[in-house]
A and B are shown apart, each in its own frame.
Chain A
Amino acid sequence: MDSPKYISVFFDDEDPLREAVRKLLESKETIIDVMTPFPVHGIDKLLSIKRSRIPIGGFIFGILGATLAFGFMTWVFTVSYPLIIGGKPFFAVPSFIPITFEMTVLFSGLAMAAAFFVRSKLKPDIRFNPVEERITDNMFVILVDTGNGNTTPQKIRSILSGIKTLEIRE
């Protein structure tokens, strides 16, 4: 029989989860992943997960949206189809501001949403195989690497003695 790839440790609350992650890292266990039904504060820092670059994309696309909107309006109202509206000059910067702002927000928001879907590999009609279905309900799971059988459920149980775990299994 193949040696199991990972050991799942289950919790039903976030505080034991955090403590357990800390203890496991202290004991130099390799944590493959931590899965939670909602974002848990502090886990990112403990697992040294790098900050997402999605906001950077949002900023770049925001600038793009602003430039596109402002540039397009400038071209339309000064070169392509100049109209005298209310006696205002053709290159009416104050008039362009609301639309520029809205386009900035639009491009930034859409770009960040799209980047999120791409990074999560979410597209229509994918098959999602959850490692453990109960994390979508009320369970928090730590997946610990077995390291070719070095780590066993018994070992994990002894490391995490005193923390309220629900289940530890392969």
Chain B
Amino acid sequence: MEEQFIFRKQYRNILIVLMVVAFLVALTAVFAFRPGASRIWANILLNNQFFLGIALGAAFFIAVNRVAMSGWHTIIQRLPEAMTSFIPVAFILMLLIFFGMNSIYHWSHYEGYDEVLEGKKAWLNIPFFFTRIVLYFTGWIAFTWMMRKNSESLMISSDLKYHNRRKIFAGLYLVFFAITVSASSWDWIMSLDPHWYSTIFGWYVLISMFVTSLAFIIILAWFLKRAGYLTQLRDDHVHDLAILLFAFSIFWSYEWYAEYFLIWYGHLPEETTYYITRLNEYKAIFYLNIGINFIVPFFGLIRVRSKRNLNWVAMVATVVIIGHWIDYWLMIMPGAAGGDSAIGLLEISMTILYAGLFIFVLFRSLARGPLIIKNDPLLDESLSYES
């Protein structure tokens, strides 16, 4: 079953038009409503983080499945692989933050003496900050490139040595990813509130990334199936994807609760400032966040029948993706933009712009090889998988 995704002119045109329109709307929003510089840069950071998270979470999905020697994911393996091709683009976009450092990161330009920020100066200074960005992205790009090249070699030569190497690459990536995703979340998001810290923050962001990726993979699979591809994707595979989305949404809620409960119960002033801001000024969004990201996937995907229906699962996945965008918004905006923050035309148009870019890069990468991986020893197991 030779399936080849063709990046049709029609899709290309729609995406380009979408990106241009979104960009123009964003520009209009900037000139019409005059948001502060911090809000604009916070938007860039938010969307960078969101879509980079989807790409990194996709690589995480592949790595975890390979280390566990799972066979069922082989049929959809090319989908997350293609998603990882966005990481180099995210690298360039993240470097742009250099021009907005002073607008969002208060530690980069404080006057006078601030004891807490002085203590953190060894980590939070601009040269080291950007050195770390380069380090993170070099590693991420190197590993995901190696994984993609490995798949290509396997498809061409069907030499089993490429298949055996995968577990090693996956393991190395997981170790590197675990360290760098925590560190990058401290750098990019946690330092927005530089007087605050949370030791669970790295994992919280990791799980947000993974759940968002899972949701995106599901939506992508739904789109491809509707367009006539992935004819051999059965209810059994959808069931497993839905199980993962269900389970990790619950895990995300657990991380959310762990962070919130410990800070609430400990009642330490230096920690509670984070939640006081969010509960007082952003109350509706705060409760919407936990509602969408926990209640919807939990009750929406709890029945076996719901888990086997791709249309329903894709609907829940869409809600989850929007919910996690709101979660990132709540993490980033109060600290970066403060009173200026809102969910308005600027936010929506910029997100659509980034989404268009992400999907464009994704489709290009998807069209570069067969849609279903060839010569993979686990492919038969995946095609005859019963769940």
Contact = CB atoms under 8 A, between A and B. Distances in A.
Interface of A: 41-42, 59, 86-88, 94-95, 97
Nearest to B386: A41
A138 to B, nearest CB: 24
A86 B265 contact: yes
Interface of B: 257, 260-261, 264-265, 267, 302, 386
A97 B257 contact: yes
Contacts of A42: 386
A59 B257 CA distance: 22
A4 B257 CA distance: 63
A94 B267 contact: no
B260 A87 contact: no
Contact of B265 (A41, A59, A94): A94
Contacts of A97: 257, 261
A122 B312 CA distance: 39
11 contacts: A42-B386, A59-B302, A86-B265, A86-B267, A87-B267, A88-B267, A94-B257, A94-B261, A95-B265, A97-B257, A97-B261
Contacts of A59: 302
Nearest to A42: B386
Nearest to B257: A97
A42 B302 CA distance: 23
Given A94-B257, A95-B265, 14 more contacts: A41-B386, A42-B386, A59-B302, A86-B265, A86-B267, A87-B267, A88-B265, A88-B267, A94-B260, A94-B261, A94-B264, A94-B265, A97-B257, A97-B261
A137 B265 CA distance: 55
Contacts of B261: 94, 97
Contacts of B386: 41-42
A58 to B, nearest CB: 11
Contacts of B260: 94
A86 B272 CA distance: 15
Contacts of B264: 94
Nearest to B264: A94
Nearest to B261: A94
Contacts of A87: 267
Contacts of A86: 265, 267
Interface pairs A-B: 4 shortest CB-CB: A94-B261, A94-B264, A87-B267, A97-B257
A99 B265 CA distance: 15
B207 to A, nearest CB: 18
A69 to B, nearest CB: 16
Nearest to B254: A101
B269 to A, nearest CB: 12
B254 to A, nearest CB: 9
Nearest to A87: B267
Contacts of A88: 265, 267
